[in-house]
Amino acid sequence: MEQGRLAVQHAFAAKRLLPAGHLPMAIYTIPELSWTGETERRLQEGGIDYVVGRAHFSETARGQIIGEEHGFMKVLAATATRELLGIHIIGESASELIHVGQMAMNCGATVDTLAACVYNYPTLAECYKTAALDCLRQLPA
């Protein structure tokens, strides 16, 4: 859709509103898979030092309410800068949840930003805070 929108704007010499960096990706299977940014493999191949923060849906009140036993979120953050490098989600509503991470990454937020945010309770979005706090636990103070 975004490529089509850009092509039409170009064809009519309209002012272009370019996409803001990282795009959300999703595979609509059961469970859903969704991600934005880098993968661990690419970070390792690039020699980038990073930490991984994890949160399991089953550890949230919402996950327990809906019986989500296997879903999880993974946040990748640069060790030196605390920059968000990638977000990966598997489970219920992954394609809906990824946009929080995408927006944070496109705005240049750090893992500290995700950890400082307040998320509605009970929601699966709380996993952002849990995963961010897991990252912070591994980073130098």
**pLDDT tens digit string along 77-134?**
999 999 999 999 999 999 999 999 999 999 999 999 999 999 999 999 999 999 999 9
The residues, any chain, with a CB within 8 Å of residue 141's CB and separated by 6 or more, are none
Tokens matching residue 126? 């709380």
Using CB atoms within 10 Å of the CB of residue 105, give its burial: 0 to 12 exposed, 13 to 18 middle, 19+ buried: buried
Which of the listed CATH numbers 3.40.30.10, 3.30.390.30, 3.10.150.10, 1.10.1660.10 matches domain 22-138? 3.30.390.30
Domain parsing of the chain, residue ranges: 22-138
Cα(4)–Cα(69) distance, integer angstroms: 38
Residue 2 in this model has a pLDDT that exceeds 80? no
Cα(84)–Cα(111) distance, integer angstroms: 6
Q: Using one digit for the tens of pLDDT, what is the confidence trace for 30-89? A: 999 999 999 999 999 999 999 999 999 999 999 999 999 999 999 999 999 999 999 999
Tokens matching residue 14? 């309209």
